[in-house]
Structure 1
């Protein structure tokens, strides 16, 4: 059973969580500024103060720019390196214009559902 007290507690904790996250974000920004100055921008670093150790890790991900890469591979006559994929916008337009029917694409569409809980205090 859900009670008013449970909703009030959820609301209170959620507000505290937002305040804590804001304070954590400020501290993280200060730590990044410190490391930017001490070891350089986008460089990993570490500092020990008493019984605490602060580290900055850097994760790098690389991704090819789709348009530029396709253009370059076409110029190099390497179509086998270009992957085809469905154009969702065009598919939705074709469905709306009834060029294709939903049953034509049965089993092709996957759906992700995410549930969220929201509690707000209502002022009387």
Structure 2
């Protein structure tokens, strides 16, 4: 497809994309540095992993603490088996072993028909190339 067939992508848009992406990365670095400073302040004055807020003039900064808990799979399964609560244990396929079985032809793709779901995501990469 040439540019004359479809003018949705132009050289100017590609150049703009690269420039904006470069600026975005610079801004993200600056924002990360500021967040680090803010977290250090809260760590020092209210404690680690403690929410807090600070108002300076007409600006207010707040720190929220999000907690994520996960069960250790091996320990939890063992404990639930000891308690005879196997109904609380989910079985799930071991993808590594399935792929190995496919490679060794112990299992065929036909055997797994309807078992595999595929998802797609789109990504755009633009880079400047040397013109000749």
Same fold (TM over 0.5): yes
**Could you tell me which residue of structure 2 aligns to residue 115 of structure 1?**
122
* RMSD across aligned positions (CA): 1.2
Deviations 1:69-94 (A, max 9, x none): 11222233332222111111111111
Are 1:4 and 2:11 matched, yes or no? yes
Distance 2:108 2:33 in 1: 51
Deviations 1:40-84 (A, max 9, x none): 001100001111110000111111000111122223333222211
**Could you tell me which residue of structure 2 aligns to residue 88 of structure 1?**
95
Are 1:65 and 2:72 matched, yes or no? yes
Gaps of 5+ in 1: none
Structure-2-length-normalised TM-score:
0.88
**Which contiguous aligned blocks of 4+ residues in structure 1 show a shift greater than 3 angstroms?**
none
Distance 2:118 2:77 in 1: 29
Gaps of 5+ in 2: 1-6
